Chain A
Amino acid sequence: MSFQGVSISWPVLAPIVALTAGGLLVLLVDLASKAIPRGVLYGIGVASCVAAFVTMLPLYGQEQVTLNGAFASDRFSWMFDALLLLTLAVTLVLSSLRKAEDGGNAGAYAALLIFCTIGGFVMAGADNLIIIFLGIEQLSLALYVLAGTGFPREASQEAALKYVLLGSLASGFLIFGSALLYGASGGVSLGAIARAAAAPQGLFVAGFALFLVGLSFKLALTPFHTWAPDVYEGSPLAITAYMSVAVKAAAFAILARVAYTVFGHDSVALIPLWGVAILSMLVGNLGAIRQTNLKRLLGYSSIAQAGYIVVALAGVSPGGLAAMLFYLTAYAFTTLGAFAVMALLGDGSDTYAELASYRGLFFRRPWPAAAMALFFFSLAGIPATAGFYGKVLLLQQAFGGGPWGIGMAIALVFGTLVSFYVYGKVVWDMYAPAEGVAAVPSGNALAPWIAVVAGAAGTLVFGVLPQLFYASQPFLTAAVR
């Protein structure tokens, strides 16, 4: 269908429409009666994930643009969309466990999560500065609210406030940078910006720098990471899980698309990005050493992991996209699994996040502890887990990235070594003699078990047989136009 010169391809937009409908349905059902069980609302949310996935299926392997080239549906965005849906479904399942998670407001909570994911979809396909900004704002605004839904806890209020303040600042950078880029290139499409990038002028450099700063804020890359540990610690558990996977994935979709569409192999403009990545790997891992709160530790860890993922882009080579997607997928399975273990063991109080309450867990609850150990080994990059092969791929890309690539490879290796201590410490604590343990985490619900098992299966299968993922990846070489 076309309208006033705007071409619209409905099949491409169908997943977004399906999610929107699902979100609205959640709201309407929530309105219908006060007696609706929370499970039903979350169930509708998961159902809309499935519906969106079904509408995505025919798009697999297609290359389409719509809205006059502003929104792309290609194999690249497809993978991100799938990852986002997976994260959304897991987050909904984990949220459904306890009232403390959603502050007793299940309808609005579930709907906001879905709307948030729509923002992620928009980001994954955005081929245009305006759409990029639209997606980021859609995602962020919903998340600001979600970060505060655990509001009886002060930490949650703190998280929401910090997130909204720093997030808006980041958005300011982003929109200002976009404006300057528009001024320098005379267009908002990434194609137009690529033309301006061929002969960059001061204005372009300033614009791109600001754009990068804004994006680094969203990715929590050092030195724009300061909000992350506090927000991760304060937000409800499921939201922290969602932030660390979905937000990162969507923002990396933008970063990769910009890097591949606008810049070439040895572009000077990306050097600040490499510097930021090196800093993130160091600060994220070193900062995690002293953490005693598991959510906070994972917050620092996510800073480091974001730094690792940037390494995938080092050579701006076709394999880099596959490496990035593999790492993100591995990271998603691993992180969601780790959060699922925490949700499983949690008892609604805050102690489930304290490392001290995991002391001696191996001897009380061997299976959750073993799963947790597996996830932390994967985050550290121990072989036979998905995280390991991800790191192998990242290092391969780093070696193709010239001197900065070598620098990143060394930072990655050093960071990984530090992370051996960070993640090893959790395992070490779980093995400790359990005297004087503050609280004994005791939950044993079915829903998080499903997420734990799925996460463990993904971590192991992708670790032992990476080809399963990789076999379908040659398409990625042509993915980003």
Chain B
Amino acid sequence: MLINTVIFLPLVTALVLLCVPRTASGALKAIALAGAVATFVLSLTFMSLGVSTVADFTAPWIAGPWSAAYHVRVDALRLFFVLLTTLVSAVCVWAAFSYAQATRLRGFLFLLLTFETTLLGLFTAADLLLFYIYWDLMLIPVFLILSGYAGSDDARKAAWGYLIYNGAGGLVLLLGIIGLVNQTHTFEVSGLVPNLSGALSWWLFGAFAFAFAVKTPAFPFHSWMPATYTQSPPPLVAMVSGVQSKAGLFGLLAFALPLFPDAAHVWAPLLLVMAIASILYGALAAIGARDMKLLVAYSSLSHLGLVWLAFFAFSITSVSAGILMLISHGLIAAALFLLLGFIEERVGTRDLGAVGGLSQHAPRLAAYMLVAAMAALGLPGLSGFAGEFLILIGTWQTQPLYTSLALIAVVLACVYMLVLFQSLMHGPERLPRGAGPIELRPREMWLVAPLLAAIVFLGVWPGWLNDRTPNAVTAQPPAVSTTVGRHA
């Protein structure tokens, strides 16, 4: 029951918000933050879960020619995604307090909280139908925030790119799921080894992989990303890039790889090329970007490409390090986008050329930015390093060529992250006219602090996560481990 409480507490909080008059902004903020923080605190109780103990809840749902169950679970794999979601969401709800239009704050918080529920539902779903429902429902809050709350025409246009592109991915996934379930006659596929013909499983895995590649996104399915990431309000983009972008790779790990191990190997060469293309294209595009949010967006593309590489290198080290990398990237991306959001809010532009030398009057902001940027470029001692390093060790064993190519991107990461930091913080002060005081306010410092703390924590003790994930991977029956075993 605790799982359901965690999943639906944000939604219930959101519904409570609707009962509060929209002018009572103090009460709205208090309720929303209390709900989000309570969700995070409750989700911390899952930390005791390991491989031997999982939290599980099943209720019959649909029976007949095919069956589905309301089946949610938190195990060693899902645990980290749930924690990431609840932490980032709580931070983002807090960050949303500075949303410009006070009368619309209620709707904005409502949508953020429902977004959190769909994400939590997705990461706990052990039933494919449930998984798909949350997969598609995620579109709605993001679409509505972009079209109704972002406040610019460009954002309203970006909403279309997001909806149509991700909708296409979702529908292809639906085709794949129904094609699969027509064989298995049940949506409860975790633990199942469906007996499929090679051709069918090839098609089905292709459908799953397409949907996951769009959602992540991976090159060449990323064209919705730049507009969405740059136009979203900071709390939203922090949640989309920090949490939602993990949905596809999570789905790969939790469903696609265990269900179609053989097809995954057939597809691997193509997907590895896709991963390398994402890594290099993302890095190069980030170097060329003059828009600070765009730069971070492309760096996300590059970093998540590395995780694709990790998963399809089929080495047990790289797969479990990929999970570490996902969580770490979630924290870093959320922190970066929030900090950039604060800067944009004050200077009114995202153009790197128009802003500079902020560190003179905003030393705290500079310090925060430094931690986040260094984590993103993989400085040892911060979480980004541990993930990258372990992934490259793992992939080197099976894919030395692609690993060498990926190493180039690690170097390039230093370039674009330092460009970002230096042009924003160093040099003579350049500010657009009418810019307010730049320094972080106490609320902003407190809300980003947990993210940075988690980044440091994972950086100095990656084992906390990484020691469990091999188990998490093997706990996914029949699991990547069988595919891994074949190659390692």
Contact = CB atoms under 8 A, between A and B. Distances in A.
Do any beta carbons of A and B sit within 8 angstroms of each other in the complex?
yes
For B147, B168, B172, the residue with the greatest tally of chain A CB atoms inside 10 Å of its CB is B147
A388 B65 CA distance: 18
Contacts of B148: 362, 431
A191 B136 CA distance: 45
Interface stretch (B174-182, B255-263, B442-450): B174-182
B164 A470 contact: no
Which among A319, A384, A424 has the greatest number of chain B C-beta atoms within 10 A?
A: A424
A392 B132 CA distance: 11
Given A424-B143, A431-B144, A395 B160 contact: no
B414 interface: no
A395 B178 contact: yes
B159 A382 contact: no
Nearest to A318: B65
A466 B174 contact: no
Nearest to A396: B178
A417 B168 contact: yes
B174 A395 contact: yes
A474 interface: yes
Interface string B94-121: 0000000000100100000000000000
B273 interface: no
Contacts of B63: 467, 471
B171 A382 contact: no
B140 interface: yes
A1 to B, nearest CB: 40
A268 B264 CA distance: 38
A389 to B, nearest CB: 9
Interface residues of A: mostly helix, strand, loop or mixed?
Answer: helix
A404 interface: no
Given A399-B178, A420-B164, A421-B160, A470 B133 contact: no
Contact of A388 (B133, B147, B167): B133
A61 to B, nearest CB: 18
A400 interface: yes
Contacts of A431: 144, 147-148
Nearest to A428: B147
Contacts of A103: none
Contacts of B179: 399
A472 to B, nearest CB: 11
B485 interface: no
Contact of A382 (B137, B147, B178, B181): B137
A382 B139 CA distance: 9
B66 interface: yes
Contacts of A465: 61
A344 B54 CA distance: 50
Contacts, number: 79
B143 A416 contact: no
B172 A413 contact: yes
B169 to A, nearest CB: 10
Contacts of A395: 174-175, 178
A383 interface: yes
A377 interface: yes
A342 interface: no
A399 B147 CA distance: 36
Interface string B40-84: 000000000000000000000111111000000000000000000
Contacts of A92: none
A84 to B, nearest CB: 25
A377 B163 CA distance: 12
A427 interface: yes
Contacts of A466: 62
A413 B132 contact: no
A413 B171 contact: yes
Given A392-B174, A427-B144, A431-B147, A382 B136 contact: yes
A325 B111 CA distance: 33
B160 A409 contact: no
Contacts of B107: 362
A473 B64 CA distance: 9
A301 B55 CA distance: 44
B215 interface: no
A471 B63 CA distance: 8
Interface string A299-315: 00000000000000000
B175 A409 contact: yes
A432 interface: yes
Interface in B176-197: 178-179, 181-182
A377 B139 CA distance: 11
B64 A382 contact: no
Contacts of A319: 65
Contacts of A471: 63-64
Contacts of B174: 391-392, 395, 413
Contacts of A363: 104
Interface in A400-444: 400, 409-410, 413, 416-417, 420-421, 424, 427-428, 431-432
B61 A467 contact: yes
A420 B137 contact: no
B61 to A, nearest CB: 7
A467 B59 CA distance: 13
Given A362-B148, A474-B64, A396 B163 contact: no
Contacts of A420: 163-164, 167
A252 B21 CA distance: 47
Contacts of B135: 383
Given A395-B178, A417-B164, A383 B64 contact: no
A466 B68 CA distance: 11
B140 A400 contact: no
A377 B144 CA distance: 12
Interface of A: 319, 362-363, 377, 382-384, 388, 391-392, 395-396, 399-400, 409-410, 413, 416-417, 420-421, 424, 427-428, 431-432, 465-467, 470-471, 473-474
25 contacts: A319-B65, A362-B107, A382-B139, A382-B140, A383-B137, A388-B136, A395-B174, A396-B66, A396-B181, A399-B178, A399-B182, A409-B175, A410-B175, A413-B174, A413-B175, A417-B171, A420-B164, A421-B160, A421-B164, A427-B144, A431-B147, A431-B148, A432-B156, A467-B63, A467-B64
Q: Which 9 A-B pairs have the closest CB atoms?
A: A431-B148, A383-B133, A420-B167, A413-B171, A395-B178, A383-B136, A431-B147, A428-B147, A399-B182
Interface of B: 61-66, 104, 107, 129, 132-137, 139-140, 143-144, 147-148, 156, 159-160, 163-164, 167-168, 171-172, 174-175, 178-179, 181-182
Given A362-B107, A470-B64, 18 more contacts: A319-B65, A363-B104, A382-B140, A383-B137, A384-B137, A388-B136, A392-B174, A395-B175, A395-B178, A417-B167, A420-B167, A421-B163, A424-B160, A424-B163, A427-B144, A428-B156, A466-B62, A473-B64
